[in-house]
Amino acid sequence: MSQAATKADLKESLEESPAADHDNEAQQEEMSPKYIFLTIFSCFCPSYPINIVAFVFSMMALHSYNEGDIDGAKKLAHIATLVAIAAIIIGLLIIAVSCIVHFSLHH
């Protein structure tokens, strides 16, 4: 019983050390979640293979961030953002072409 209490005290003292606080601050670097919202928004555009790829990249970035790989998460988030923007632009072009074809064929 006293051995369990000693291990708990040792763990608490290690967690309260200044070195542990410095590591926690470095690891808790905030990442902006705006890329997730952008990729979810891109899923409503009619460019399905591309927006699903953007969503997969955003989930990979979130997983990398949760694993502690901040640099890899930032790179994946940047790729997800670029692919989501491309999906939105392609989706808007598909909508525009569909409207032009529809209204030009029905006088």
**Tens-digit pLDDT profile for residues 95-105:** 999 999 999 98
| Confidence at residue 15, expressed as pLDDT on a 0 to 100 scale | 52
pLDDT at 22 over 60: no
> What is the per-residue pLDDT across 25-63, written as a single tens digit (0 to 9) for each?
555 577 778 889 999 999 999 998 999 999 999 999 999
Three-state DSSP class for residue 58: helix
| Confidence at residue 20, expressed as pLDDT on a 0 to 100 scale | 47
Three-state DSSP class for residue 25: helix
- Taking alpha carbons only, the member of 26, 23, 20, 39 closest to residue 78 is 39
| Confidence at residue 4, expressed as pLDDT on a 0 to 100 scale | 54
Residue 2 tokens read as: 């006293």
pLDDT at 7 over 50: yes
Cβ–Cβ contacts within 10 Å for residue 81, how many? 21
CA pair distance 78, 61, nearest whole angstrom? 9
Give CA torsion, residues 86, 90, 96, 99, to 10 deg: -140
Q: Where are the beta strands (DSSP E) in the chain?
A: none
Domain segments of the chain: what residues? Answer: 1-30, 33-105
